[in-house]
Amino acid sequence: MLDVEIAEGYLRGCMEQDVLCWYGIPYAEPLQGLGRIRAPQPRRPWVGVRDARQFGCSVPQEVPAFLGVENMGDDCLNLNIWSPRVQGKRPVMVWIHGGGYLNGSSSQSMYRGHPWARDHDVIIVSINYRVGLVGFADWRAWPELQGATNCGLRDIVLALTWIQNNIHVFGGDPESITLFGQSAGAMAISALLAVPSARGLFHRAILQSGSADHILMPEVAQQVTAKLAMQSGSLHELFSTGSWQDVLLAQRAILRMTLPRSHYVIANMQFGMPALPCLDDDFLPGLPMQTEVNMPLLIGTARDEWSLYLYMPELMGGRPARGDINVDEQVWEQVVSRGVPEIAQEMMQSYRRLMPGSTPAERIVAFETDRVFRISSLALASKQAQSSYVYRLDWSCVGNRRLGACHVIDLPLIWGQVDSPLGKFFTGGDEDAIALSSYMMQCWARFARDGVPALDWPVYGQQRWTHRLDRDRGYEADSQGDRRQLWFPYIGFAEKL
């Protein structure tokens, strides 16, 4: 038995795979009634020894079976810790899970911190935060609810405050906190860069397959909440006496909304992901691109992010593709017109010119990868080019060749799970995959320790260096720069892109 004392009381952990583990540690009070849409409250102390040998509840959500999220309930704002030992002061890496701001949990089987703690001598913390509209909606037009904006981000800030106060008990250094996250997790981290109350709570950030522009203007965010109000009839009744299932059913009706995101010169549309952080008066007063960051960043995307959504949408919670997908020129034109309606013709012509001989499907993958993930990630790196490190993951999926280097292919690599069933599907699990996984984990851990992922890895800089990660590795100056330059006139918040 491994008992430790934290500010709230005693915790009992366990030893697994030569690593010390504590699971399901609550950092906030349970979410009940209108508390589901209000700012999180710090957990009150408990009496006696709390058992922390099993994962806690996940945030209630409608979730694809693929993700393996179970045991959902009110007491869901909890975190997990993996540590080599409790003596010393080690770098701390805090994992923010993805899931489109609609699902996901820190207890998913992919996110096990044993290899990190055992082989790289770091502390791993994974946290739950509110997803869906209980986590990301603007309630200011309904003052009777006393709801808070950006509850999901507020949860993360409270968890980071808990870590600052307690992580020394587990052998961690509160002055060396690195956030790392993938997809919506990376998007959340980019938003936290602009949150005043988060300053000083973390010192480095790793953003994998995310973006820095998945934020709604207040008037757009209130459109989402207004539609939820119309669907539910009474928001007060829905949240005060309704069940979680009632909330999720009401939310389901608005999942297909199409909304302009961030503050571009032109409309850049977001669809199927209406629960996003929003600008407000105090908690998130500005965009990441308009905020001084002043910390080392490690930023990257996969080469073919969008192919997963095109060919296997069921893996991301969408409807399964039916048979052979017929992606013709008409579909290509529809995708571009929906994404950037004001400049659709120009973008169609430009991508055709830059990708001669390409199929419509190949152009869709390139265009949506750029529009949704890559361009704003590069813009954030460019904002502080002398302390940012950029990579592009080119490893192609082994289990389905059409996917190429798709979204989520980084997960088995950075969690040391290339030999798991899912890891083998994406990476093949061969010696090259194991070597790349080891290399990436070494780089991530070194970045968490020193702020530099590798001695020979150049900063993004004026040359816009990108580290290409594949069976072989190399550095490229301004990789795919012709496509990057297409977006230059339209990214109003990134003049130096």
In degrees and rounded to multiples of 5, residue 172 shows phi and psi of -100, 160
What total of structural domains would you count in the chain? 2
Q: What is the pLDDT of residues 283-301, one digit of tens each?
A: 999 999 888 888 999 999 9
In the block, tokens 């950006």 appear at: 150
Question: What backbone phi and psi angles, to 5 degrees, belong to 200?
Answer: 85, -10
Residue 286 covered by a domain: no
- Residue 292: is it exposed, middle or buried by C-beta count within 10 angstroms (0-12/13-18/19+)? exposed
The tokens 């994404």 sit on which residue?
A: 339
CA 467: distance to chain centroid?
21
Tell me, yes or no, whether 256 and 321 share the same domain. Answer: no
Res 63: pLDDT: 78
Report whether pLDDT(497) > 50. no
| Cα-Cα-Cα-Cα dihedral sign, residues 293, 299, 304, 310 | negative
Which residues have a Cβ under 8 Å from the Cβ of 324 and sit 6 or more positions away? Answer: none
CB 22 within 8 A of CB 13: yes
Both 125 and 18 in a single domain? yes
- 282 within some domain: no
- Last residue of a domain, which of 271, 304, 331? 271
Q: Report the b/e string of 150-184 with b at 16+ CB within 10 A.
A: bbbbbbbbbbbebbbebbbbbbbbbebbbbbbbbb
34 part of a folded domain: yes
Mean pLDDT of the chain: 94
**Are 206 and 302 in the same domain?**
no
Confidence of residue 316 (pLDDT cuts 50, 70, 90): very low
Predicted confidence at residue 70, as pLDDT, reads 82
One domain, residues 302 and 263: no
> Which region, left, alpha or beta, applies to residue 277 given φ > 0 means left and ψ of -120 to 50 means alpha?
beta
- If we measure between CA atoms, which residue out of 393, 466, 480 comes closest to residue 436? 393
pLDDT at 372: 96
| pLDDT of 157 higher than 80 | yes
330 and 265, same structural domain? no
| CA-to-CA dists, residue 368 to 332, 361, 394, angstroms | 11, 11, 16
The pLDDT value recorded for residue 488 is 84
H or E, element range at 179? strand 172-182
Domain housing 372: 296-490
Other Cβ atoms less than 10 A from the Cβ of 41: the count is 13
pLDDT of the residue at 78: 98
Give the span between the Cα atoms of 249 and 130, in whole angstroms.
16
pLDDT at residue 8 above 80? yes
Q: Which of 148-157, 192-201, 226-235, 357-366 has the lowest mean pLDDT?
A: 226-235
For residue 271, count other CB atoms closer than 10 A to its CB: 13
> If you average pLDDT over residues 189-193, what whole number do you get?
98
The first and second tokens of residue 105, run together, are: 């949990």
| Same domain? 396 vs 257 | no
pLDDT score at 314? 56
| pLDDT (tens digit per residue) in 106-124 | 999 999 999 999 999 999 9
Report which of 434, 461, 456 is spatially closest to residue 446, judged by C-alpha positions: 456
Question: Under 8 Å CB-to-CB from 491, ≥6 apart: which residues?
Answer: 264, 265, 375, 376, 379, 497
Q: How far apart are CA 241 and CA 259, in angstroms?
A: 30
Residue 495 pLDDT > 50, yes or no?
no
pLDDT (tens digit per residue) in 441-459: 999 999 999 999 999 999 9
- Tell me, yes or no, whether 276 lies in a domain: no
Contact 457, 443 (CB under 8 A): yes
> Six-digit token pair at 39?
């700012």
Helix (H) / strand (E) containing 9: strand 9-16
Give the per-residue pLDDT at 75: 97
* Spatial separation of the C-alpha atoms in residues 486 and 354, rounded to whole Å: 10
Residue 312 shares a structural domain with residue 446: yes
* Residues above pLDDT 90, as percent of the chain: 88
Same domain membership, residue 360 and residue 258: no
In contact, 278 and 221? CB cutoff 8 Å: yes
Q: Is residue 379 part of a domain?
A: yes
> What are 72-88's pLDDT values in tens digits?
999 999 999 999 999 99
Closest CA to 50 of 78, 72, 69: 78
Would 279 be classed as within a structural domain?
no
For range 130-141, the mean pLDDT: 96
281 lies in a domain? Answer: no
pLDDT reported for residue 74: 97
Query: Do 316 and 237 share a structural domain?
Result: no
Burial class (CB in 10 A: 0-12, 13-18, 19+), 442: middle
Query: Has residue 427 got a pLDDT over 60?
Result: yes
pLDDT at 496: 45
Q: What is the pLDDT at residue 256?
A: 86
Domain shared by 152 and 195, yes or no: yes
Is position 290 within any domain?
no
Q: Is the pLDDT of residue 315 over 60?
A: no
Question: Which residue type is seen at 392?
Answer: R
Q: What is the pLDDT of residues 34-59, one digit of tens each?
A: 999 999 999 999 999 999 999 999 99
Residue 154 clears pLDDT 70, i.e. is over it = yes
- CATH number of the domain that residue 142 is part of: 3.40.50.1820
Taking the CA of residue 392 as centre, how many other CA atoms within 13 Å lie in the half-sphere pointing to its CB?
25
Share of the chain above pLDDT 70, in %: 96
Read off the amino acid at residue 160.
L
Evaluate whether 8 touches 46 at the Cβ level (below 8 Å). yes
SS3 state at 216: strand
Instruction: Using CA atoms of 327, 328, 330, 331 in order, give the dihedral in degrees to the nearest 10.
Output: 10
- The verdict on 174 and 316 lying in the same domain is no
Is the same domain home to 131 and 205?
Answer: yes
DSSP per residue, 54-123: S--PBPP----GGG----B-S---EEEEEES-SSS-EEEEEEE--STTT---TTSTT---HHHHHHH--E
pLDDT at 120: 98
pLDDT score of 253: 86
Mean pLDDT, range 462-489, rounded to an integer:
95
Check pLDDT > 80 for residue 322: no
